[in-house]
Amino acid sequence: MSKFATFAALHVPGDPVVLYNIWDVGSALAVASVGAKALATGSHPVADANGWPDGEQVPIEFALANAGRIVDAVELPVTVDFEGAYATDPEAGGRNVAMLAATGAVGCNFEDQVIGGTGLHPLDLQCRRITAIRRATGEAFFINARTDLFLKAKPEEHDTALADAAIERALAFADSGASGFFVPRLGDLKLVERVCCASPLPVNAIAFPGGPTKAQWAGAGIARISYGPFPHRALMKTLESAARAAMVG
C-alpha cells in the first residue's frame, strides 16, 4: 500500500487518527518514536520555531525545504499545513501545492480564510482553488480542506446555523475534490456530531486546552485529531521553566 493510501485509510469516523503536530526534523523524530501512524506539520509552530509570524510569513522556499527535510527523515506519511497555498489565484495555488507534493508530502491543509485580509473566500472561489489543487497534484494527494467559520466566530456564536454553513462548505469542497474537512475551534459536541453526520468527507478537529477528550471527539464522529500550535507552545513553556531554574540555581 502506498503512503497516500495508508494515510487516507487512517481517517475513520469514530476511531480518529491522532496527529500531534510537529515543526522540524527533531520534533518529527520525537513524535514518530512513540508510535505515531503519520505526521503533520502546523504552520504556526513552524513559523514560531523559526522566527516568523504565522499567516504565510514563512517564505515558501523555506516551507518547502522544511517539508522535504522532514519527509526524508522519516518513514511515516507526512502532511503539511500549507495555509492558503501562498496564492489566491486557483492556478497559482495549484502550482504551489504541486511543488509541495514534489517534496514527498502525502497531503496538505488548505484553508478558506483570506490570509492578510478579513473573512473567508467566497465559496465558489474556494471550490475553484480546491479543484485546481486536485488537478495539479493528482487523485491520491490528501487535500484537507479547512473552514475557518468557527475560528473567526466567537464561541457564543457557534450555533446550528454556523454548523449548517460549514456543512454547505463540506459538501461543496467534496464535490471540488477535497479529501477531508477540517473545522478548527469547533468544540460543541452536538454541533460536531451534526457536521460529522452530514459531511461526505472525514472530519478533522483540533484538540485545544479545555476541549473535548479523544473519546468524546470519537463519539461525535471525528476521524482525525490534530493539535496545532499547542505542542510547540507547551514545549517552549517547559524550556522557559528549565532556563529560569538554571539562571536562579
Q: How far is the C-alpha of 29 from the C-alpha of 114, rounded, in Å?
A: 33
Whether 3 maps to a domain, the answer reads: no
Least Cα distance to 224 among 196, 198, 189 occurs for: 196
Cα separation, 27 vs 36, in Å, equals 12
Is 66 a domain residue? Answer: yes
SS3 75: coil
pTM of the model: 0.97
Q: Is residue 6 part of a domain?
A: no
pLDDT of the residue at 23 = 98
Question: Is 35 part of a structural domain of the chain?
Answer: yes
1: in domain: no
Please give the tally of structural domains in the chain.
1
Mean of pLDDT values over 129-139: 98
**Strand bridging mode 224-226 / 180-182:** unpaired
Are residues 195 and 173 in contact, defined by beta-carbon separation less than 8 angstroms? no
Q: Which of 214, 215, 224, 86 lies closest to 144 in space, CA to CA?
A: 224
CA distances from 9 to 12, 56, 216 (A): 7, 29, 21
Which residues constitute the domain of residue 125? 15-248
> Tens digit of pLDDT for each residue in 38-81?
999 999 999 999 999 999 999 999 999 999 999 999 999 999 99
Report yes or no: 205 and 174 within 8 Å, Cβ to Cβ: no
Sequence-distant (≥ 6) Cβ neighbours of residue 143 within 8 angstroms: 107, 108, 110, 130, 133, 134, 137, 177, 178, 179, 180
Q: Determine the average pLDDT of the residues in 124-130.
A: 98
pLDDT for 185 equals 95
The closest of 183, 228, 227, 219 to 201, measured between CA atoms, is: 183
Cell of 145: 480542506
Mean local confidence (pLDDT), 123-133: 98
In a domain, residue 40? The reply is: yes
Please identify which residue in the block is written with the cell numbers 473567508.
Answer: 120
Does 206 map to a domain? yes
Question: Is residue 157 in a domain?
Answer: yes
pLDDT at 249 over 80: no
Phi-psi region of 38 (alpha: psi -120 to 50; beta: other; left: phi over 0): beta
CA 207 to CA 209: how far, in whole Å?
Answer: 7
CATH code: domain of residue 151 = 3.20.20.60
Summarised one tens digit per residue, pLDDT across range 90-116 is 999 999 999 999 999 999 999 999 999
Residues 192 and 158 sit within 8 Å (Cβ to Cβ): no
Query: What's the pLDDT at 1?
Result: 85
